[in-house]
Amino acid sequence: MSLSAAVLLVLLFLAAAYAVVLYNGLVRLKHGVSKAWSNIDVLLRQRHEELPKLVETCKQYMQHERSTLEQVVKARNAVAAARDQGDVGALGKAETGLRAGLGQLFALAENYPELRANESFRHLQQRISGLESGIADRRELYNESVNLNNVRVEQFPDALLARAFGFHEAPLLQFSEADKADVDLKPLFG
């Protein structure tokens, strides 16, 4: 075997090894996005199961606030539908509606001292608030995983392998501008 043939074989081996390293990195990022989504999904499911209990507890005390309770139930169903379909864009919009409804519900609860004193209500309120914090934390981790994936899928030379093997960008989980804005609670207490 000549020296030039040996050098060519070494270069081919190094190119193949580099391609394998790039491919494995893309696979790891793709699965990181899936794992981050699964972590959000777990909390969304838990909250989905807790919300009917909260609404039922509130119904016993808040006879005149039916529209707020219906808004929370409708938003809960929209979140569940988006989650089941894996539609990250629709989930962001549905989450905005649910967060607004829960904010209004908890603010209205201030007008019902018996409800606020109810142990079940307090427990559910704390549980849902904890789940909301967990969802926010996991959303941040999901978006970071998506960002890492998307950068690698677009970067050269990773983009060549990504296109060849069907790796795609993933959507960020974003909430609407209304969800990011400060909530005006004055009308609820006026």
Q: Within a domain: residue 101? A: yes
* Position 14 confidence tier, pLDDT thresholds 50, 70, 90: very high
Q: Within a domain: residue 14? A: no
Comparison of pLDDT for 121 and 149, the residue scoring more = 149
What's this model's pTM, rounded to 2 decimal places? 0.75
Distance CA 132, CA 118 (A): 21
Supply angle C-alpha 106, 111, 113, rounded to 5: 95
* Position 22 confidence tier, pLDDT thresholds 50, 70, 90: very high
Q: Within a domain: residue 166? A: yes
pLDDT of residue 180: 47
Give residues with Cβ within 8 angstroms of 142, minimum separation 6.
33, 36, 37, 39, 40, 173
Structurally, the chain folds into a number of domains equal to 1
What is the four-CA torsion angle of 170, 171, 172, 175, rounded to 10 degrees? -160
- Residue 111's domain is classified under what CATH number? 1.20.1440.20
Tell me if 49 sits within 8 A of 76, measured CB to CB. no
Res 186 pLDDT > 50: no
Tens digit of each residue's pLDDT (9 = 90 or more) over 93-108: 898 889 888 888 888 8
Which is nearest to 129 in space by CA: 141, 117, 121?
Answer: 121
Q: Within a domain: residue 38? A: no
Token digits of residue 173: 């989980």
Which is nearest to 45 in space by CA: 111, 161, 144, 131?
Answer: 131
Q: Within a domain: residue 21? A: no
pLDDT of residue 139: 92
Res 188 pLDDT > 60: no
Res 53 pLDDT > 50: yes
Q: Within a domain: residue 151? A: yes
Q: Within a domain: residue 30? A: no
Q: Within a domain: residue 68? A: yes
Q: What residue numbers bound the domain in which 116 lies?
A: 43-179
